[in-house]
A and B are shown apart, each in its own frame.
Chain A
Amino acid sequence: MKFLVITLLCLLTLLTANNIFARTTPLDIVNSQRSDYEAKVKYYLPEDKQKLENISGQIAVINRKRTDQLDQIMLTQGKLLDEYLRRHDFKSTESTDRARYYITFAHEAVAFQAAKIYIYDLTSESHLSQDALSLINKFQSELEYAKNAVVHSQQVLTGVLR
């Protein structure tokens, strides 16, 4: 009897172990959004689905192009700071450390933006245009955030180089 109870308890632990150790990752969120989208869009007209995909495809193209440009800027900002330090015998100061921090921060923001996948949060087929515009607005504000981080690190770097 005792053996059975213990075995059952162990089985219960085994079944719940994965839930205990599970951790929500950005990938889980993307997959969940994707499955929600796919579950809803399969009932939409094929031409409507195609239109939605055209818009999200365009978002991906613009995101890739712009984040590539921002990434180039960040690599050059890092090189500028390295060259400045080289010219000053590698003596780092509070301002150079601050510039390094913001350059790293902006570079990470750009990499994070580049990895984003935009998926519709569909409400209903009659609200397709609003859903599309809502995704575009989300993309704009997130890309602008990355861009503003780049501009800010450039301003901090300007303070060091002048």
Chain B
Amino acid sequence: MKKFLLILSVLIILAGLSLLMIQGNRQKSLSSTQTLNEIPVTSASPSSVTLIDQNTNLDKLNQNLTPEDFSADYANLESIAKRESTSL
């Protein structure tokens, strides 16, 4: 009986320890998400969003929302890479 109780208590302690380790690991991974936050999702503030009132032509405003062409940015990046690569 004594042996059984001893084994049971050891088992309970080990189970507790493993749970603590698992939790610690989770918290560690949560705190390291800071590296993902180096680039903020958005710097936009709600006040900078276009105001829409009763007189707004919704369809017209929607048509004006078409994103710009990004090709100038890509061309700029490629030219930087080519310029840097001449001495790489």
Interface residues of A (CB under 8 A from B): 2-3, 6-7, 10-11, 13-14, 17-18, 21-22, 25-28, 30-31, 34, 47-48, 51, 54-55, 58-60, 62-64, 66-73, 75-77, 79-80, 83-84, 87, 111, 114-117, 128-129, 132-133, 136, 139-140, 143-144, 147, 150-151, 154, 157-158, 161-162
Contacts and interface: CB of A to CB of B under 8 A. Distances in A.
Interface of B: 3, 6-7, 10-11, 14, 17-18, 21-22, 25, 29, 32-33, 35-44, 46, 48-50, 52, 54, 56, 58-59, 61-63, 65-68, 70, 73-74, 76-78, 80-82, 84-85, 87-88
Given A10-B10, A80-B62, A128-B88, A73 B67 contact: yes
Nearest to B71: A140
Consensus secondary structure, chain A interface: helix
Contacts of B63: 158
